[in-house]
Amino acid sequence: MPPLPNPIPIFPLPNVILFPRMPLPLVVFEPRYRKMVADALQKDREDRIIGMVLLRPGWEAEYQGRPPIYAVGCAGVMEQCEPLADGRFKILLRGTSRFRVVEERAGEPYRLATVVTLEDPLGDAAALDLARRRVTEAIAQAVDGPAILVMQPELTHDVFVNALCHSLGLSPVEQQSLLDCHSVQDRYGRLLEILEFRRLEHAHRRGGEPKVH
């Protein structure tokens, strides 16, 4: 994948994670980030990059400044933008690549960062197929799993696991731990850990012990 340009605008939010190749609709209303969108609109379509990052816990007291963020984020290309009458923007980002923030830069009311583009290698083919089957089985046992995604075998491994990470209703910190994974194979493994923890947690809440085979 081509490296991201530097610096890029970063959009820190407390509860939103973007994954590569996934769509993310947003409504942008803060003045500093409205300027960020307006500046992006001045660029060529393929250069309209916005980096999504997650705010660390305790961000509330410093939100109007520059509260701490997780180092790994995901860049998205702004595919659609609809200006609203009150000055807000409705935008659609499409995830492109993960990145690591090296340092932040001044110069704009919104946040800018120098980043290093992170690869997202797949991993071992046989291990990926096995992990996909295990994830599919785990979701099939859940009461609210996205059956449509599970039944689409034509999806590539990266799209499949990223779509699940995006849509399963996980907490932002859980999603961040998935975005942090160094490969698609590792992301499968982490997702299985989360699903297994939730299964055990659900069994505990119901007052029963899960059977061990």
Query: pLDDT tens track of the chain, all 213 residues?
Result: 678 999 999 999 999 999 999 999 999 999 999 999 999 999 888 889 999 999 998 877 777 778 899 999 999 999 999 999 999 999 999 999 999 999 999 889 999 999 999 999 999 999 999 999 999 888 887 655 555 555 566 789 999 999 999 999 899 999 999 999 999 999 999 999 999 887 776 665 666 544 443
Question: What is the pTM for the complete model shown?
Answer: 0.88
Q: Which of 118, 148, 177 is where one domain is finished?
A: 118
Maximal CA-CA distance, the chain: 60
| Domains of the chain: total | 2
- C-alpha neighbours within 13 Å on the C-beta side of residue 154: 1
| pLDDT of 146 | 52
Residues 106 and 139 in one domain: no
Q: Taking each helix axis as running N to C, give the angle between helix 157-167 and helix 125-140, from 0 to 180 degrees, rounded to the nearest 10.
A: 30
Torsional class of 154: left (φ above 0), alpha (ψ -120 to 50), beta (otherwise): alpha
Question: Residue 183: is it exposed, middle or buried by C-beta count within 10 angstroms (0-12/13-18/19+)?
Answer: middle
Rounded Cα gap, residues 132 and 174, in angstroms: 19
Answer for the pair 201, 170: CB distance below 8 angstroms, yes or no.
no
Range of the domain at 39: 8-118
Q: Which of 118, 140, 155 is where one domain is finished?
A: 118
| pLDDT of 44 | 87
* Residue 1 within any structural domain of the chain: no
| pLDDT of 58 | 81
Torsional class of 123: left (φ above 0), alpha (ψ -120 to 50), beta (otherwise): left
* Residue 144 within any structural domain of the chain: yes
Residues 164 and 198 in one domain: yes
CATH number, domain containing residue 17 = 2.30.130.40
The secondary structure of 8-25 as a DSSP string is: EEEEEESS----TT-EEE
| pLDDT of 2 | 78
Rounded Cα gap, residues 35 and 111, in angstroms: 11
